[in-house]
A and B are shown apart, each in its own frame.
Chain A
Amino acid sequence: MTFDEGQGYVVLATIAVPLLAALVLVFTPGHQKMLVRYISAVTGAIVAGLSIYIFAAYQLDGSDAQMRLQWVWVENTAFLGKDGITLNLAVDGISALMALLTGVVAFAGALASWKLDFRNKDFYILYWTLLAGVYGTFFSYDLFFFFFFYELAVMPLYLLIGVWGSTRKEYGAAKLTLMLVGGSVLIWIGIFAVFHEANLGTFDMEQLWAAGRDGTLSPTFQKVFFPFMVVGCGVLAALWPFHTWSPDGHMAAPTAVSMVHAGVLMKLGAFGIIRLGIQMMPVGAEFWMPTLMVLGVIGAVYGATAALTQRDFKLISGYSSVSHMGYVLMGLATMNQIGVTGAVLQMYSHGVMTALVFLMIGALYDQAHTRDLKDFGGIAKVMPLWVIFYGIAGLANVGLPGFSGFTAEFHIFVGTFRSYPVFGALAIFAAALAAAYMLRMFAIVFFGPFNVRWSDLKDLTPLERLSGGMLIASIVIMGVWWAPFTDRVGQTVTLLPGVTG
């Protein structure tokens, strides 16, 4: 076993550990709630450690996919030729960053659910299944497994939200699940079409990408099917106007699910656009990207505008997610290295900061049982640390330098400006709106006269501090010193077809 192969097993382990945890939990007695928590915490730590390792070990030597592990799964059967389906795991610069994001958020989410008492075993089983799906999607270089894991990540959401959620949870859960699966309908169709058109008898993504580049997938074909892939993935990335699951879903979801969902899962959508759209159909991408740009801009402005007058914390975050994912889509739509890199950075940045936001909302909601802004005031008096944490998340959200949001948005703005100056200006304007809605919320909730109704509120628990601290560290590191991030992402982005210098 060479070193690189060994690294492939690390990648495999990253997927396998959450799955194993879920399996172990299945056989754990449900009333042993502490044991369940410890198992999950340990799993989270291991997963986070592996993720950090993968990110750190990704070599900056100009090569793309690294740490490869390839196991033949099904081949030479029916329409599947050589390498028909392989468990083909590898890491590129983008997925390395996404892995890091997932690790941090997953660990933080696992800790955030410590308080959960109602059927926590079932909760964690679904939780770790979801995360295995997320990792799998990021690492898969095989279309079958890509989609397999993609759907696997979506599947547990219904129960996670429906059983452990809050406001209008049934509606939110059903809508979220159905919209996301509805999006994957388009991906399915796209996959069938691509496999059929390429006629290679393999789901291996690299071969299919090559087919997309060398014209085996004809330009007309690419133009027709690019929207399928992108809209399909776009639903998960809250592409306007397919975003409405985001406010309702987030409002309904329990803390850890909101964290993971907004933090990681939405990124799967954008990641899918890169993998299935840009990499697979460069011609289609070139043709459709202006449209995506328009939709992204609409999403960015629209989400920020709608967030301006919301009264529920989670609705604000839901709409702000729409806005921020709008930036991601814009970044991707620029089709230049800076913009696309910015989009990936924004995926990370939005992930960690939204996770932090939802963690904080959860910390408050668990005690207050209301999320109406107008109920609060002067919370800084009783929960100073909470306010600081939330404040950092909020300021990162606003795109303040020193936090990851700035790094990402800056690259997106630069990229957008390069190709579409007017849209770039609009996006910058939307960022100013972000300041407005965030500060409005700060002003109402954190500050002002203290409402004595809340004098019993406790500040963050040690666990919440730990998970919040991790997220803040992630936010700040990227905000201050972003070279390690841009280097990795940039290395892959420069190799993307159709992406200009």
Chain B
Amino acid sequence: MRDYTIFIPEYIAAGSAVGIIGIELFWPKFRKDWLAYITAVAALGWFVAGLFFIGKDPNSFQGLIRSDDFTTYFRLLAAGIVIVVALMSATHMRTRTKTVAEYYGLLLVAGCGMVYMAAATELLTAYIALELLSFSLYILVGYLKRDNLSSEASLKYILLGAFSSAMFLYGMSLIYGVTGTTYYEGIAEGLAARGPGTDPAVIVGMMLILAGVGFKVSAAPFHMWAPDAYQGAPLPITAFLSTASKAAGFALILRLFTGALIVDAAEWRWAVAALAAVTMTLGNLVAIQQSNLKRLVAYSSIGQVGYMLITIAAIGYGDAKVGQDASSALLLHIAGYVIATLALFAALTAAYNRTGREDIAGLRGLAETQPFLALVITIALFSFAGLPPFAGFATKLFMFQGATTDELLWVVGLAVLNSFISLYYYLMIVRQMYLFDPIGDVGRWKVSPVLWCLAAVLMVGVLFIGVYPGPVFELTERAAQPLFDAAGLGGVQVQRP
């Protein structure tokens, strides 16, 4: 079946990307912040186009791409992230580089990459989509090219990215060798058809794939690039990295692991659980020692990845019902996490635009000079820590609850312990903002209206999900549904003992 309509939203995005690059190419004096707004509008169009796909019947494009609620969910998420990041960048990027059109164009392209990572049901497509996202990010991270840190971050990112995608590919090749196909459905059937016992090729292949996607979502020990890349990247890109890139990684993992590898879940679930445990512990412990905000957020998001990985392990341990519940909860958590992160970065960007400092002490006395930003930052951080009435509380609770199986209770316990540790370093930030007086000029200053509104809207979102998670949860449940109704498996798991 070739239904090209399913690509319409991305046509809009990619087309706009080209258009934006074209504008600056032919009209170099065009105001840079307007480019941002154009990007936001384009992404809004993309978002709106995505809305039409809600609830439509699943549609597969030649077995490569599936257009279903899962895809739509990530499409909306991607578009939303791009809107926010573009708006965030408007003032931030205006003075820092000569040209910004490519920046916004790549943002849109990266978003498309994310959507196809979620939509891909075939290894090659998934790989290319992943590289599309990665390539865009390599460039975006190094976009401040006169900045030493930015280019260093970019170099580390691309070399490690290439290294780990080689691993990823080797794993794919082994799976291909075993099953003779690269379609997820075919892989599942192929694995199921191989009878009892598991080949070493399958095990090692899965481990290599795990390393590849683990790198993408920055799971320890494949996380090392993240702090450096986060620190070197421009602030809005850091936001993008910690939201879109992670969400995309999980989208791919969900598709791949539920659609293809679920059959031999016994061979990878322990590894995912172990990775989850290591990741969250490492991320949170190291985060305590950070003084740079971006690095701190990087480690904190590594910790978050640890929590999210538990659900993947739960998919491996539980039956289809557990898997679906866990995935819905994971999607909900991703939504909450993304919104909170974006709120945090919107506020941080506003503060950074004013102070130019990205260490924690730079926020000193923010509650005096800009109480609204301090409030948004606090809310975002408390949401990460899982305190009510913010999104993190409800979503984390649902996610862990969804992931609780007899085998995984210890990881869940560890996760809760970790989110407690995380509270410590979040409080360190809150402390700077609220407990100390600002240095130097103590007058109030104004936030640019765009960032203000952005932060306000996101903050409301954080509160809404936290207080009334029902509607979003229902949506994410629908989004997770197709993973388990996928054709071929008919919702029944062919899992080996």
Chain A residues with a Cβ under 8 A of chain B: 73-74, 77-80, 85, 122, 133, 144, 147-149, 151-152, 154-155, 158-159, 162-163, 169-170, 174, 177-178, 181-182, 184-185, 188-189, 191-193, 195-196
Q: Is the CB of A79 within 8 A of B325?
A: yes
Q: How far is the CB of B261 from chain A (nearest CB, A)?
A: 22
Of A147, A169, A192, most buried by chain B (CB within 10 Å of CB) is A192
Q: Is the CB of A181 within 8 A of B420?
A: yes
Residue numbers in A under 8 Å from B427 (CB-CB): 158, 174, 177-178
Q: Contact partner of B409 among A151, A170, A193, CB < 8 A?
A: A193
Q: A155-B387, A159-B430 are contacts. A182–B420 as well, Cβ < 8 Å? A: yes
Residue numbers in A under 8 Å from B394 (CB-CB): 144, 148
Of A77, A122, A154, A181, most buried by chain B (CB within 10 Å of CB) is A77
Residue numbers in A under 8 Å from B385 (CB-CB): 181
Q: Does B329 contact A (CB under 8 A)?
A: yes
Residue numbers in A under 8 Å from B474 (CB-CB): 74, 77
Closest to A203 in B: B401
Closest to A184 in B: B420
Residue numbers in A under 8 Å from B393 (CB-CB): 148, 151
Which of B210-218, B248-256, B410-418 lies on the face that meets chain A?
B410-418
Q: Contact partner of A192 among B401, B417, B473, B480, CB < 8 A?
A: B401
**Subset of 12 A-B contacts with CB under 8 Å:** A74-B470, A77-B470, A78-B477, A79-B329, A79-B402, A147-B397, A158-B430, A159-B430, A178-B424, A189-B416, A191-B397, A193-B404
Secondary structure at the B interface, as helix, strand, loop or mixed, is helix
Q: Mark B362-393, 1 if CB is under 8 A from A, else 0.
A: 00000000010000000000100101110001
Residue numbers in B under 8 Å from A193 (CB-CB): 404, 409
Q: Which of B447-482 contact A (CB under 8 A)?
A: 468-470, 473-474, 477, 480
Of B329, B371, B394, B397, most buried by chain A (CB within 10 Å of CB) is B397
Residue numbers in A under 8 Å from B430 (CB-CB): 158-159, 162
Q: Mark B303-339, 1 if CB is under 8 A from A, else 0.
A: 0000000000000000000001100110000000000
Q: Is the CB of B388 within 8 A of A151?
A: yes
Residue numbers in A under 8 Å from B417 (CB-CB): 185
Q: Is the CB of A78 within 8 A of B324?
A: yes
Q: Does B435 contact A (CB under 8 A)?
A: yes
Cα–Cα distance between A74 and B393 once the two chains are bound (Å): 15
Closest to B382 in A: A155
Q: Does B168 contact A (CB under 8 A)?
A: no
**Known contacts A162-B431, A174-B427, A189-B413, then 11 further A-B pairs from the complex at CB < 8 Å, ordered by chain A residue:** A73-B470, A77-B474, A80-B473, A122-B371, A151-B388, A162-B430, A174-B431, A177-B423, A181-B387, A188-B397, A192-B416
Q: Is the CB of A78 within 8 A of B434?
A: no
Q: Is the CB of A192 within 8 A of B412?
A: yes
Q: How far is the CB of B205 from chain A (nearest CB, A)?
A: 31
Q: Is the CB of B434 within 8 A of A159?
A: yes
Q: How far is the CB of B10 from chain A (nearest CB, A)?
A: 29
Of A78, A159, A188, most buried by chain B (CB within 10 Å of CB) is A78
Q: Does B176 contact A (CB under 8 A)?
A: no
The 3 A-B pairs of least Cβ separation, nearest first, read A74-B470, A79-B325, A78-B328
Closest to B480 in A: A78
Q: Is the CB of A78 within 8 A of B329?
A: yes
Q: Is the CB of A188 within 8 A of B402?
A: no
Residue numbers in B under 8 Å from A174 (CB-CB): 424, 427, 431
Q: Is the CB of A77 within 8 A of B473?
A: yes
Q: Is the CB of A77 within 8 A of B328?
A: yes
Q: Is the CB of B468 within 8 A of A162?
A: no
Q: Contact partner of B388 among A148, A182, A188, CB < 8 A?
A: A148
Q: Is the CB of B404 within 8 A of A78?
A: no
Q: How far is the CB of B423 from chain A (nearest CB, A)?
A: 5
Residue numbers in A under 8 Å from B431 (CB-CB): 162, 170, 174
Q: A192-B409, A193-B409 are contacts. A152–B398 as well, Cβ < 8 Å? A: no
Q: Does B405 contact A (CB under 8 A)?
A: yes
Cα–Cα distance between A73 and B389 once the two chains are bound (Å): 14
Q: How far is the CB of B34 from chain A (nearest CB, A)?
A: 33
Residue numbers in B under 8 Å from A152 (CB-CB): 387-389
Cα–Cα distance between A158 and B367 once the two chains are bound (Å): 14
Cα–Cα distance between A78 and B474 once the two chains are bound (Å): 8
Q: Does B400 contact A (CB under 8 A)?
A: yes
Cα–Cα distance between A61 and B416 once the two chains are bound (Å): 42
Of B329, B416, B468, most buried by chain A (CB within 10 Å of CB) is B416
Q: A155-B382, A189-B413 are contacts. A149–B388 as well, Cβ < 8 Å? A: yes
Q: Is the CB of B401 within 8 A of A79?
A: yes
Q: A73-B470, A196-B404 are contacts. A189–B382 as well, Cβ < 8 Å? A: no
Cα–Cα distance between A166 and B409 once the two chains are bound (Å): 41
Cα–Cα distance between A322 and B412 once the two chains are bound (Å): 31
Residue numbers in B under 8 Å from A192 (CB-CB): 400-401, 404, 409, 412, 416
Q: How far is the CB of B214 from chain A (nearest CB, A)?
A: 25
Closest to A149 in B: B388
Cα–Cα distance between A73 and B324 once the two chains are bound (Å): 21
Residue numbers in B under 8 Å from A78 (CB-CB): 324-325, 328-329, 398, 402, 473, 477, 480
Of B385, B401, B468, most buried by chain A (CB within 10 Å of CB) is B401
Q: How far is the CB of A143 from chain B (nearest CB, A)?
A: 10
Residue numbers in B under 8 Å from A149 (CB-CB): 388
Closest to B474 in A: A77
Of A151, A170, A191, most buried by chain B (CB within 10 Å of CB) is A151
Q: Contact partner of A196 among B388, B389, B405, CB < 8 A?
A: B405
Q: How far is the CB of A171 from chain B (nearest CB, A)?
A: 11
Q: Contact partner of B477 among A77, A85, A169, A178, CB < 8 A?
A: A77
Q: Which of B34-58 contact A (CB under 8 A)?
A: none
Q: Which of B417-437 contact A (CB under 8 A)?
A: 417, 419-420, 423-424, 427, 430-431, 434-435
Closest to A192 in B: B404
Q: How far is the CB of B290 from chain A (nearest CB, A)?
A: 17
Residue numbers in A under 8 Å from B423 (CB-CB): 177-178, 181
Cα–Cα distance between A470 and B487 once the two chains are bound (Å): 69
Closest to B435 in A: A162
Q: Which of B478-496 contact A (CB under 8 A)?
A: 480
Closest to A136 in B: B388
Cα–Cα distance between A73 and B468 once the two chains are bound (Å): 7
Q: Is the CB of A163 within 8 A of B435?
A: yes
Cα–Cα distance between A159 and B434 once the two chains are bound (Å): 7
Q: Is the CB of B329 within 8 A of A148?
A: no
Residue numbers in A under 8 Å from B409 (CB-CB): 189, 192-193, 196
Q: Is the CB of B416 within 8 A of A162?
A: no
Q: Contact partner of B434 among A133, A162, A177, CB < 8 A?
A: A162
Cα–Cα distance between A163 and B417 once the two chains are bound (Å): 27
Cα–Cα distance between A352 and B382 once the two chains are bound (Å): 31
Q: Is the CB of A188 within 8 A of B469?
A: no
Residue numbers in A under 8 Å from B328 (CB-CB): 77-78
Q: How far is the CB of A74 from chain B (nearest CB, A)?
A: 4
Q: Is the CB of B435 within 8 A of A170?
A: yes
Cα–Cα distance between A332 and B19 once the two chains are bound (Å): 71
Q: How far is the CB of A268 from chain B (nearest CB, A)?
A: 14
Q: How far is the CB of A121 from chain B (nearest CB, A)?
A: 10
Residue numbers in B under 8 Å from A74 (CB-CB): 469-470, 473-474
Of B324, B387, B473, most buried by chain A (CB within 10 Å of CB) is B387
Q: How far is the CB of A248 from chain B (nearest CB, A)?
A: 15
Residue numbers in B under 8 Å from A177 (CB-CB): 423, 427
Residue numbers in B under 8 Å from A154 (CB-CB): 387
Residue numbers in A under 8 Å from B477 (CB-CB): 77-78
Q: Contact partner of A178 among B382, B420, B469, CB < 8 A?
A: B420
